[in-house]
A and B are shown apart, each in its own frame.
Chain A
Amino acid sequence: MIWVETLLNGLMLGGLYALFGLGLSLIFGVMKIANIAHGELAIGGAFLAFTVVGVVPVPLVILLPVIAVLMFGLGYALQSAMINRVLGDDPIPPLLLTFGLSILLQNLLVELYGANSRSLDPGSFGVAGIDLGGLSVGLLPLMTLLITITLFVALQWMLSRTSFGRTIRATSDDPEIVAMMGVDRRHIFALVMGLSALLAAVAGMLLATRTSITPFSGAERLLIAFEVIVIGGLGSIWASLLGGLVLGVVHAIGFRLDPASGLLYGHILLLIILLVRPEGLAGKRRTR
């Protein structure tokens, strides 16, 4: 029974991991760049939430979408004002720029909020649980998993069924030729960065409801996000979900076996995947 519970906990933790990976994977898929500031966008979203609840104590159900929309705007602005300017054939400038942004955002958070750890109070259901045939499952992790799956389904629907999603995929395939379809790729890139920041911020806020975070927590989140997309693979959003869930389960099992192991088992899994199946569990093998 204890292993079933471990598995469930791992899946719920993995949902959150998947959400961290999803935004990073989206950026990589469309712009072919790694956004090193992804972790700071997630943590920044949570800190923005701390500020808002400090002024107006609104429940989580309102806070989440409000912050998500604000972070979409921030992502859009970052892309159009800065990252679009350095995009080109050379992948190094955007890498350096987002690395710089990551340090800048981290220090900005320390300056504004101090280095103390904080968490988001999820209200009474933070400690509530339900009984599933002898298993006790926390409502909060369950809600986290539900939000994650909803976001994945919504994103998949948007990408595969809407005209906007089709344009995103086309831009990913050939960013030059979409211009002949009247598409300004810089605008599409900015919208995608907005989406990525939105997803990161939701993940950051959900993280802050289950554990306390500091302005320095971004780096670890970025590492998790990278592991998710390496384990799952690139090329589809389901690969990110799979990667997140697998990583979550491995972390939960590792914790059960050896509470002092931290993220060690996740890193070992990453190493094995890189050696055995470098394209990821659900990734497409590169043919070019």
Chain B
Amino acid sequence: MLEVSALDAFYGDFHALFDVSFALNPGETLAVVGANGAGKSSLLGAICGLVTTRGEVRLNGKNLTNLSTPARAKAGIALSPEGRRMFTSLSVRENLLMGARVGRKGPWDLSSVGALFPILEEFADRPAGLLSGGQQQMVAIGRALMANPVVLLLDEVSLGLAPVIAEEVHAALAKLRGTSEMMTLIVEQDVRRALGGSDHYLCLLEGRDVMNGLSNAVDFDALSRAYFGESAA
């Protein structure tokens, strides 16, 4: 179980996230929605320890708050970052192997990631920097899975991808849902798609949780108002 309580995040003097709390049970997916600059990536960064934080992050009872980023990764937090952040001088296979470097055991290895994204097996020896955006997104997700994470953080999954490629990536993510105990946080521009592929949602506005609930019971009108910061009618 992932428990985030009263989490704040800072970039230097800039306060990016205010008092965000939520809990996620094994196997569940949380969609994080919000406008640009609402603090979605900051939330993921705060869970990874990539930004300065205040508040608490607990994973299966273990307090991660004072752990370094590498230590959190070893505890089972994996990130597919915004902008995909390929190791451009490494081949696709080498990128995936970097993901396995945390040394966690589990179902994910080169062959199971290859089965999820067959194109990665085909392009295994290509430099990752030469792949298309969609293929790089698959490498980024595959690389995170290679860590056999307890918590998978997916940032901006379909940003900049052609609709048909975004569809393909989401189809692969749909296969992951419900098949394991892994908890997933997904940040996605396409709100309907994000809600369709998640159990819970959390809407951020200017770094604050303005609305949350069950994805299958969402009131889209209310969510739209929360998303854009209009006061409830």
Q: Give A residues with C-beta under 8 Å from B.
A: 163, 166-167, 169-170, 172-174, 176-184
B98 contacts A170, C-beta separation under 8 Å:
yes
In chain B between 124 and 163, which residues have their CB closer than 8 angstroms to a CB of chain A?
A: 144, 147
Contacts of A167 in B (CB 8 A): 98, 101
- Complex Cα–Cα for A182 and B88 (A): 19
B78 at the interface (CB under 8 A from A): yes
Query: Given contacts A174-B85, A179-B70, A182-B74, are A166 and B103 in contact (CB under 8 A)?
Result: no
Q: Give B residues with C-beta under 8 Å from A.
A: 48, 50, 68-71, 73-74, 77-79, 81, 85-90, 94-95, 97-99, 101-103, 144, 147
- What would be 13 A-B contacts, judged by CB atoms less than 8 Å apart? A169-B94, A170-B98, A173-B89, A174-B87, A177-B79, A178-B98, A179-B73, A180-B69, A180-B81, A181-B102, A182-B71, A183-B101, A184-B68
A184 contacts B98, C-beta separation under 8 Å:
no
B90 contacts A181, C-beta separation under 8 Å:
no
Contacts of B85 in A (CB 8 A): 174, 176-177
- Nearest-neighbour CB distance to chain A for B57, whole angstroms, equals 15
- Nearest-neighbour CB distance to chain A for B91, whole angstroms, equals 9
Query: Given contacts A172-B89, A173-B88, A176-B50, are A181 and B94 in contact (CB under 8 A)?
Result: no
A180 contacts B68, C-beta separation under 8 Å:
no
Contacts of B88 in A (CB 8 A): 173
- Complex Cα–Cα for A178 and B94 (A): 13
B48 contacts A170, C-beta separation under 8 Å:
no
Smallest CB gap from B147: residue in A: A181
- Complex Cα–Cα for A184 and B68 (A): 9
Query: A-B pairs with the 5 shortest C-beta distances?
Result: A182-B102, A179-B69, A173-B87, A170-B87, A182-B73
- Nearest-neighbour CB distance to chain B for A2, whole angstroms, equals 43
- Complex Cα–Cα for A166 and B85 (A): 16
Contacts of B77 in A (CB 8 A): 180
Query: Given contacts A163-B97, A173-B90, are A182 and B79 in contact (CB under 8 A)?
Result: no
Among the interface residues A176, A177, A178, A180, which one has the most CB atoms of the partner chain B within 10 A?
Answer: A180
Contacts of A182 in B (CB 8 A): 70-71, 73-74, 101-103, 147
- Nearest-neighbour CB distance to chain B for A288, whole angstroms, equals 10
Contacts of B102 in A (CB 8 A): 181-182
Contacts of B94 in A (CB 8 A): 166, 169-170
Smallest CB gap from A170: residue in B: B87
- Nearest-neighbour CB distance to chain B for A95, whole angstroms, equals 23
- Complex Cα–Cα for A210 and B201 (A): 71
- Nearest-neighbour CB distance to chain B for A100, whole angstroms, equals 27
Contacts of B90 in A (CB 8 A): 166, 169-170, 173
A180 contacts B87, C-beta separation under 8 Å:
no
Among the interface residues A178, A179, A181, which one has the most CB atoms of the partner chain B within 10 A?
Answer: A181
- Nearest-neighbour CB distance to chain A for B87, whole angstroms, equals 4
Contacts of B79 in A (CB 8 A): 177, 180
Contact among B68, B78, B86, B97 for A166, CB-based, below 8 A: B97
- Nearest-neighbour CB distance to chain B for A117, whole angstroms, equals 42
11 further interface pairs, Cβ-Cβ under 8 Å (given A176-B50, A182-B71, A184-B68)? A163-B97, A166-B97, A170-B87, A173-B86, A177-B79, A177-B87, A179-B73, A180-B73, A182-B73, A182-B103, A182-B147
Smallest CB gap from A182: residue in B: B102
Contacts of B147 in A (CB 8 A): 181-182
Contact among A169, A176, A180, A181 for B89, CB-based, below 8 A: A169
Contact among A169, A174, A176, A181 for B101, CB-based, below 8 A: A181
- Nearest-neighbour CB distance to chain B for A274, whole angstroms, equals 25
- Complex Cα–Cα for A174 and B101 (A): 15
- Nearest-neighbour CB distance to chain A for B147, whole angstroms, equals 7
- Complex Cα–Cα for A94 and B97 (A): 31
Contacts of A174 in B (CB 8 A): 85-87
Smallest CB gap from A179: residue in B: B69
- Complex Cα–Cα for A176 and B81 (A): 11
B87 contacts A163, C-beta separation under 8 Å:
no
Query: Given contacts A166-B97, A166-B98, A170-B90, are A181 and B81 in contact (CB under 8 A)?
Result: no
Among the interface residues B79, B98, B99, B147, which one has the most CB atoms of the partner chain A within 10 A?
Answer: B98
